[in-house]
């Protein structure tokens, strides 16, 4: 009986300590509102290259208690656009940090054709590349849509990204 009690205590303690693990595909749907701060370079008339950081917060569509809901996000990246040809290309990497301090990483790439600049949706994908704690070993590739809503007079930008839709 004593051995059974020890075994049960060990199993229960292990379960409580381990918590939830997302060591495989994190398949979520949600929106990430961002602000972009960086530097824009004019390459030619109507052609620009921006490099900097998008940062904001992710809201998982499933709400409270769902994976990465209200996670902080920082995404160093680039955004190249050509207003004359009406095309854009953007990409980078992101670091998501949840309230407990665990982090998960991804790479992303989007593009558009037929329009460029504010209001133009760019589509592509993101791929989980790993993480810490409960996100260690995270993987999987999913759809991504990004939209710049405003280019502010000071050169910063605001917009949103939709994940998994």
pLDDT digits over 76-103, tens only?
A: 999 999 999 999 999 999 999 999 999 9
Task: Yes or no: say if 150 and 157 are a contact pair by the CB < 8 Å rule.
Answer: yes
CB 18 within 8 A of CB 32: no
List the pLDDT tens digit at each of the 165 positions of the chain.
Answer: 555 444 333 333 333 334 466 667 788 999 999 999 999 999 999 999 999 999 999 999 999 999 999 999 999 999 999 999 999 999 999 999 999 999 999 999 999 999 988 999 999 999 999 999 999 999 999 999 999 999 899 989 999 999 998
Angstrom distances, CA of residue 4 to CA of 31, 36, 88: 47, 57, 63
Which class would CATH give 22-163?
A: mainly beta
pTM to 2 decimal places: 0.83
Q: Where are the domains of the chain?
A: 22-163
165 CB burial (10 A radius; 0-12, 13-18, 19+): exposed
Tokens coding 35: 């602000």
């Amino acid at each position: 009986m004593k051995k059974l009690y020890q075994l049960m205590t060990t199993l229960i303690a292990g379960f409580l300590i381990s918590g939830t693990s997302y060591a495989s595909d994190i398949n979520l749907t949600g929106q990430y509102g961002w602000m972009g701060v960086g530097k824009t370079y004019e390459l030619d008339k109507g052609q620009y290259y921006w490099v900097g950081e998008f940062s904001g917060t992710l809201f998982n569509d499933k709400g409270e208690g769902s994976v990465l809901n209200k996670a902080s996000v920082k995404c160093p990246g680039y955004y190249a656009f050509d207003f004359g040809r009406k095309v854009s290309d953007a990409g980078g990497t992101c670091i998501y940090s949840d309230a407990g301090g665990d982090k998960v990483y991804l790479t992303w790439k989007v593009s558009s054709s037929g329009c460029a600049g504010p209001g133009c949706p760019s589509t592509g994908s993101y791929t989980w590349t790993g993480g810490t704690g409960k996100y260690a070993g995270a993987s999987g590739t999913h759809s991504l849509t990004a939209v710049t809503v405003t280019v502010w007079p000071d050169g910063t930008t605001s917009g949103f990204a939709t994940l998994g839709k």
